[in-house]
């Protein structure tokens, strides 16, 4: 499997620092806490870089806690079997189709599916340090095509001005896009979802 590009560590640091700053400005408006799993329910698209980071995270977990890694793989396989018939993409590669009909279908797809990286017994993410950029930025206000998007549990009673003052600049210099361009042909291009990134993680020789 291809190694992560050296710049991914920098990207993670940038996003995590931006989250810390937004969290500081948000104060009590931001109710995200360990064990809150609101953002772990519902399917969303992730980049090829996110997928590669998750795969490395799962392989790293197998080295330190193989039983927990096995549970992650099992949840991912079960989820893939459940959603594959209606998946608006290639259920083998896990790559989402990009035509208009598929994009429209994905808007309503898997809204009640729980992320297989979530340990249902503890409410914690088993791959937290390797989580996608979307997960790292969830909670504070983030600019979307429809304005500022934020967790529905947060900022109750806040004014538009309060919310805008806490906006998080996720990747202001576009580093993620540059890293994606440099991945090369040995990484399948296109977006996928967490489930298929995990299902398609190579099995280590020792297993």
Q: What is the pLDDT along the chain (207 residues), one digit of tens a residue?
A: 889 999 999 999 999 999 999 999 999 999 998 889 989 999 999 999 999 999 999 999 999 999 999 999 999 999 999 999 999 999 999 999 999 999 999 999 999 999 999 999 999 999 999 999 999 999 999 988 778 998 999 999 999 999 999 999 999 999 999 999 999 877 888 999 999 999 999 987 544
Bridge partners (DSSP) of residue 143 are 148
Phi and psi at residue 4, in whole multiples of 5°?
-65, 140
Could you tell me where the beta strands, DSSP code E, fall in 29-188? 118-119, 124-125, 142-144, 147-149
Which pLDDT score is estimated for 207? 45
14, part of any domain: yes
Q: How far is CA 200 from CA 44, 59, 90, 157, 185, in A?
A: 17, 12, 12, 43, 17
Contact 83, 89 (CB under 8 A): no
Query: How many domains are there within the chain?
Result: 1
Bridge partners (DSSP) of residue 191 are none
Q: How many Å separate Cα 8 from the centre of its chain?
A: 14
153, part of any domain: yes
171, part of any domain: yes
34, part of any domain: no
Which pLDDT score is estimated for 27? 95
Measured over the CA atoms of residue 39, residue 124, residue 49 and residue 79, the dihedral's sign is negative
Which pTM was predicted? 0.94
- Domain holding 97, by residue range, is 7-28+39-199
Give the residue among 51, 36, 47 at the shortest CA–CA distance from 151: 36
204, part of any domain: no
| Exposure of 137 in the CB half-sphere (CA atoms within 13 A) | 21
Which pLDDT score is estimated for 170? 95
Place of tokens 């109710």: 31
1, part of any domain: no
CA–CA separation, 116 vs 84, rounded Å? 14
17, part of any domain: yes
206, part of any domain: no
Place of tokens 């298929």: 196
Could you tell me where the beta strands, DSSP code E, fall in the chain? 118-119, 124-125, 142-144, 147-149
């Amino acid at each position: 499997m291809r190694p992560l590009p050296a710049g991914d560590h920098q990207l993670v640091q940038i996003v995590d620092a931006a989250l810390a700053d937004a969290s500081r400005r948000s104060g009590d408006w931001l109710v995200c806490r360990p064990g809150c799993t609101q953002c772990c329910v519902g399917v969303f698209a992730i980049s090829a870089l996110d997928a590669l980071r998750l795969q490395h995270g799962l392989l790293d977990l197998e080295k330190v806690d193989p039983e927990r890694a096995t549970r992650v793989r099992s949840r991912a396989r079960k989820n893939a079997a459940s959603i594959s018939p209606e998946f608006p993409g290639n259920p083998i590669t896990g790559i989402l189709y990009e035509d208009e009909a598929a994009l429209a279908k994905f808007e309503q797809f898997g809204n009640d599916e729980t992320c297989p990286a979530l340990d249902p017994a503890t409410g914690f993410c088993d791959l937290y340090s390797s989580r996608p950029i979307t997960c790292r930025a969830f909670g504070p206000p983030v600019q979307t095509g429809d304005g500022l998007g934020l967790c529905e549990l947060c900022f109750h009673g806040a004014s538009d001005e309060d919310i805008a003052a806490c906006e998080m600049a996720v990747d202001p210099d576009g580093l993620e896009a540059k890293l994606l361009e440099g991945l090369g042909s040995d990484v399948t291009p296109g977006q996928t979802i967490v489930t298929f990134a995990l299902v398609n993680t190579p099995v280590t020789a020792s297993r």
